Amino acid sequence: MRGCNVISMLGLIWLLSVGLLIAGLVTFGYTANHFREGSKAKNGFFVSGFLFIVPTAFTLGYFIVSDTPNFVSAFISPLAVIVFEVILVVIMLIACLSPSKGRAPRNVIKGIAIFAVLQLVVVILLLTLTLSLAGGDIHEEYNYEERYEDYGYTEEDGEITIDVYLGSEKEIEVPSVIDGKPVTKFGSYAFDNCYELTSITIPESVTTIEENTFHDCIKLYEITISPDNPTYVSSEGMIYSKDMQTLVVCAEGRIGKIQIPDTVQQIGDNAFSRCTSLTQIIIPDNVTKIGECAFYGCTSLTNINIPASVIVIGPEAFSDCTNLRDISISSDNPEFAAEAGILYNKKMTAVICCMSGISGSVTVPDGVKTIGAHAFDGCDRITSLTLPEGVTEIGTYAFDCVWDLSMITIPETVTSIGKYAIPSYKIVIYCNEGSYAQTYAVENEISYVLMK
């Protein structure tokens, strides 16, 4: 995952800062120990320690769960530390005020001064290193061999791969040649986190564009490919194969409605991933395949129509489309059917996936025998779920990240529940005594209620 090296470095930085904090507290404690109001100083220690732990835990937690630490997140956390440190020093000063003289003794002031200086060093260190990591050097984990202007690249067999773009320009034109060798490939995540990038021009030499090349380029609206490029062609912010039969990727900054050309037969993996501003995507009748995570994170989509021609839909194709509530399948489609926002196989014996925008109580219809892997993954607004008699199998991660789900009814016909299918937090399984579901609940420490 991108950012792991950064997380490790930030972890070391924060450990160092905690070490300096402890040193400051020890110094302050030593000087304040001679003051008769030591109990107040002790209370000050507890409060100040809590105030430091809060921003520290927040920052560490953020970088642990975040795949892509960025300039803003790196800046806000140390800034929060500065605010807390100021409050901390004030609290210590108040805690150690001399009731007789109305001011802190000289040795206490000296201790606070030492403490403040140490913490200032911590803050400067945090700001310098975290902002440096997030602002540019964050790309070091790409292990690119050389750098040309704002491009980190590697060379193999006389060809150049762009591994990472290090600049911050809004409009860029990628060079076709670096050091006398042709640029032929964009690596995965090569332009990751280029938040200000709005337009990119790709030369004819580039014949390979890997998945997620433009990940989190949230303002990227225009992609222009040289008409002489033998592999790709571009139109209206989208990249297609040269024959226009495969839609490779759509720029994340596109807004509103997208009409996929009639020539397209395949929508590639991650093609519309994180296109959060698209409100409508029209799929033509010639499309036969929708790739894995094809519409992942299209949070503005509320409905989508699948034509009869589509016979393959990849895993998690509609995952994290948080407002997608309705999916319509042509009655002539030989492979799929849909009902109430849930995608099934044609015979409606298997749940393939539920749209993430579905909310409230959900009852799976009679006749269903299989709940597929990741079927309800990310449907975090569903509160209760009832599976019908006849269901025999629940796939892996079937109900993962269904945060609002509090109860699920599992019939005694179920004989297989995949790994991590049902998370252990707050969910109560309603099942029959002696059933496989009861055994699963006991083994995985999940609360359950026996039905009569």
Residues 6+ apart with CB under 8 A from 141: 2, 3, 4, 5, 6
Taken in order 98, 100, 102, 103, the sign of the CA dihedral is negative
Helix orientation angle between 38-65 and 71-95, rounded to the nearest 10 degrees: 170
pLDDT(387) > 60: yes
Which pLDDT does position 376 carry in this prediction? 94
pLDDT tier at 401, thresholds 50, 70, 90:
confident
The dihedrals phi and psi of 3, each to the nearest 5 degrees, come to: 105, -5
- State mean pLDDT over 329-350: 96
The number of residues in the chain equals 452
Distance CA 269, CA 252 (A): 14
**Tens-place pLDDT, residues 185-238:** 999 999 998 989 999 999 999 999 999 999 999 999 999 999 999 999 999 999
57 CB-side CA count, 13 A: 6
Name the percent of the chain lying above pLDDT 70.
68
Residue spans of the domains in the chain: they are 4-139, 350-452
CATH topology of domain 350-452: 3.80.10
**Tens-place pLDDT, residues 22-33:** 555 555 555 455
pLDDT(403) > 90: no
Query: What is 12-58 written as a DSSP string?
Result: HHHHHHHHHHHHHHHHHHHHHTTSS-HHHHHHHHHHHHHHHHHHHHH
- How much is the pTM? 0.71
